[in-house]
Structure 1
Amino acid sequence: MPRFINVAAAQLGPIQRADSRRDVVERLLAHLHQAHAMGCQLVVFPELALTTFFPRWYLEDPAELDAFYEREMPGAETRVLFETAARLGVGFYLGYAELALEQGAARRYNTSILVGQDGAIIGKYRKVHLPGHAEHEPWRDFQHLEKRYFEPGPGFDVWRAYGGVIGMALCNDRRWSETYRVMGLQGAEMILLGYNTPVHNPPAPEHDDLSMFHNHLVMQAGAYQNGTWVVGVAKGGKEEGCEMIGGTCIIAPSGEIVAACSTKGDELAIARCDLDLCHSYKTTTFNFDRHRRPDAYGLITSRRGAIEPEHLAA
C-alpha cells in the first residue's frame, strides 16, 4: 500500500538584520497556513530560518552574537509555531542557531528540529559539515564564519515519523556523499535539508556560475544513490547585500526534481511523496546488502545499525 506524505518546501526570501523574530515567525506561520490549506502534513523551512545569516559578519561583542541564538525551543517568540502546528495538524522542520548549556558550558550549534503534527519535537540534528573559516578575513566582501560561531554536531540519525524513516541535514552537509550514505544505511526514506547559500564563493569565484547546478547535482545524486526523497529548502534573494541562490526543490528517489520554487522569495513547492517509491531503488540497484562492498572500502560505514522500514520488516 502506498505511503503518501504531502510535503511543502517552504522557501524564504531574505531576512534582514533589522527584522525581528516576531516578523520572521509571522512569515513562517503564513507558510504553515498555506500548506494546511493545500493538504500538507509536513512543512520544511530553511537553515537559520529565524534570523539573517549572521556568520557573514565578524562580531566581537558576545552579547551582539548571542542575540542570534535560541536558548530554548520552543521559546517565548517561537511557541506560536508549535501551537499552530498542533492546531492545524501540520508538522515542520526548522533550522536555527542553538545556544545550549551542557555540563555548565555554553555550546553553539547550527541546529534543525523535526516537529510532529501534534506540535511535539520528534528529533534534533546539529550540523556536522561546517563550511567557511574561523578567523576574520578582511579581504572578503562578506565573511563565512560558521567555524567560529558553531561547533560540529555528533553525527547523523534518523527517526520514525510521518509513516516512514526521516533524516535531517543542513546546508554544506548536502555536498558530502557521507551525509546521505550514513542515513541511507539507517533506512532513510526522506531527508530534510535546509540551506543558506550565497551565489558568490570568495575563495573560488570561478564556481559562481555553477552554484545552482552544483546545488541540485549533489542533492539529486544523494537521493538516487540512496533511494530516498530529499527536500532541499533555501533562503534566497539579496540578504544584507549578499545574493543567495534559492533553488528550493523536492527530489524523488529516482533523482528527479518533482517540485521546485520559481522565485527567490517566500514560496511553497508542494509534492505528494510516496515513501514506498524508495522500495524499488533500495531493493534493486542500490540494495546495499547484495551489492555494496564495505570490505573493500577500508572505512567505517555507519555510526549505528540500520533502522529497517516497518513495511520491509516482515
Structure 2
Amino acid sequence: MTRFIHVALGQLGPIARADTRVQVVARLCEMMREAHACGAHLIVYPELALTTFFPRWYMDSDGEINSFFEREMPSAETLPLFALSRELGVGFYLGYAELTSENGRQVRYNTSILVDRGGTIVGKYRKVHLPGHYEHEPWRRFQHLEKRYFTPGDRFGVTEAFGGKIGMAICNDRRWAETYRVMGLQGVEMVLIGYNTPVHNAPAPAHDDLSLFHNQLSMQAGAYQNGTWVVGVAKAGIEEGVDSIGGSCIIAPSGEVVASCITKGDEVAIARCDLDFCALYKRTTFNFDLHRQPHAYGMIVERKGETLRADGSPLG
C-alpha cells in the first residue's frame, strides 16, 4: 500500500519590520486555504516566518531583541493558524524565534514546529548549525547575528506523523551532511527545511552568484544520499533592503526536483509525495545496514557524557 502526502510549499515574500504578527498570520492562513484547495495535507512555511529576519541588525537591548520572539505557541496571534489547520485538516511546519526559560534563565532558540492535521503540535526542533557571527561587524552591509541571538539546539530527531517518519531542519542545517545522515539513521522519510538566505555572503562574496545553486545542491544531495524526500521553503525577495534567495522546492529520494516556486513572493506549489518511494533507495544503493562501514570512519561524538561511535554505539 502506497503512502502519499500532498505537500505544499508555503513560500513567503518579504516581511517588513513594522509588519505585525496578525498581518503575517493572515498571509499564512491565505496560503493554507490555497494549499487546501489544491488538495494539500501539509504546508511548509519558512524559517522565522512570523517576523522580518531580525538577525540582520545589531541590538543590545533585551526588550528590543525579545520583541521578535514567541513566549508560547500557539500564542493569541498565531491561534487563528492552528484553528484553520483543524478546520481544513491541513498540517503545517512553522519556523519562529522561541523565548523560553531553562533552569531559571532565559534562553532563545531558532525553532520550528510540526503540527498535524488536527492542529496539534506533534514535533519541535531547535536549529543546530547557527551561522554568522556574535559581535557587531560594521564593515558588513548588513549583519548576520544568529550566534548572538540564539542558542544552538542539540539534536536531530524524527517524528511519526502524516503516516511516515518526518524530520525537521532549519536553513544552515541544510548545508551539513550530518543533518541528513543523523535523521537518515533514524529512518527519516521526509525532511522539512525552512530558510532565510541572503544573496550576498559578506565573508565570501564570490559565492553570491552561486547562492541558489548551493541551496539546491545541498538539499538534493541530502535527499539522494539518505533516500528521503526533502522540502525546502524560503522567505524570499528584498526585505528591509536585503535581497534573499527563493528557490523553494520539493525533492524526491532520487534527488530530482518535483515541484518548485518560480517567484520571490508569497507562493504556493504542491507535490504528491509517495513515502514508499524512499524504500527504493533505502533498500538498495543506500542500505545503511548492508553497505555502511562506520567502524572505518574514525568518528566519535559526545552525548550526555558518553563517548559514542559514529553509529551511535558506546565506545569502549
TM-score, normalised with respect to structure 2: 0.95
Residue in structure 1 matched with residue 225 of structure 2 by the alignment? 225
Q: 2: CA distance between counterparts of 1:273 and 1:125?
A: 22
How far off is 1:302 after superposition? Answer: 5.1
What is the identity, as a one-letter code, of the residue corresponding to 1:140?
A: R
Gaps of 5+ in 1: 305-314
Distance 1:3 1:254 in 2: 17
Change in CA separation of 1:160 and 1:302 when aligned onto 2, cut-off 3 Å: farther
Q: Which residue of 1 aligns with 2:305?
A: none
Aligned residue for 2:168?
168
SS in 1 for 2:46: coil
CA distance in 1: counterparts of 2:9 and 2:293, whole angstroms? 35
Q: Following the alignment from structure 1 to structure 2, what is the Cα–Cα distance between the partners of residues 5 and 211?
A: 29
Rounded Cα–Cα distance in structure 2 between residues aligned with 1:203 and 1:102: 34
What aligned pairs does 1:126-275 form with structure 2 within 5 A after superposition?
A: 126-275=126-275
Listed one character per residue, the Cα deviations across residues 85-139 of structure 1 (whole Å, up to 9, x for unaligned) are: 0111000000000001122111000000000000000010000000000000000
One-letter amino acid of the counterpart of residue 155, structure 2? G
Moved more, 60-69 or 160-169: 60-69
Q: Deviations over 1:24-64 (max 9, x none)?
A: 00000001111111111000000000000000000122111
Matches within 5 A, 1:14-93: 14-93=14-93
Instruction: Count residues with an aligned counterpart.
Output: 305
| Contact 2:32/2:43 (8 A) holds in 1 | yes
Would you say the 8 A contact 2:294–2:311 is kept in 1?
no
Q: Distance in 2 between matches of 1:61 and 1:9?
A: 35
| Inter-partner Cα distance in structure 2 for 1:213 and 1:8 | 22
Cα distance in 2 for partners of 1:54, 1:13 equals: 15
Q: Deviations over 1:116-173 (max 9, x none)?
A: 0000000100000000000000000100000000010011000000000000000000
* Secondary structure, counterpart of 1:276 in structure 2: helix
- RMSD of aligned Cα (Å): 1.1
Following superposition, the deviation at residue 301 of structure 1 comes to 2.7
Residue matched to 1:288: 288
Q: Deviations over 1:224-260 (max 9, x none)?
A: 0000000000000000000000100000000000000
In 1, Cα distance between the equivalents of 2:96 and 2:265? 19
The 3-state SS of whatever aligns with 2:9 is strand
| Percent identity (aligned) | 70
Q: List structure 1 segments (4+ residues) > 3 angstroms apart after TM superposition.
A: none
Structure 2, unaligned runs of 5 or more: 300-308
Normalising by structure 1, we get a TM-score of 0.96
Deviation digits for residues 155-203 of structure 1 (CA, Å, limit 9, x no counterpart)? 1000000000000000000000000000000000000000000000000
Q: Which amino acid aligns with 2:95?
A: G
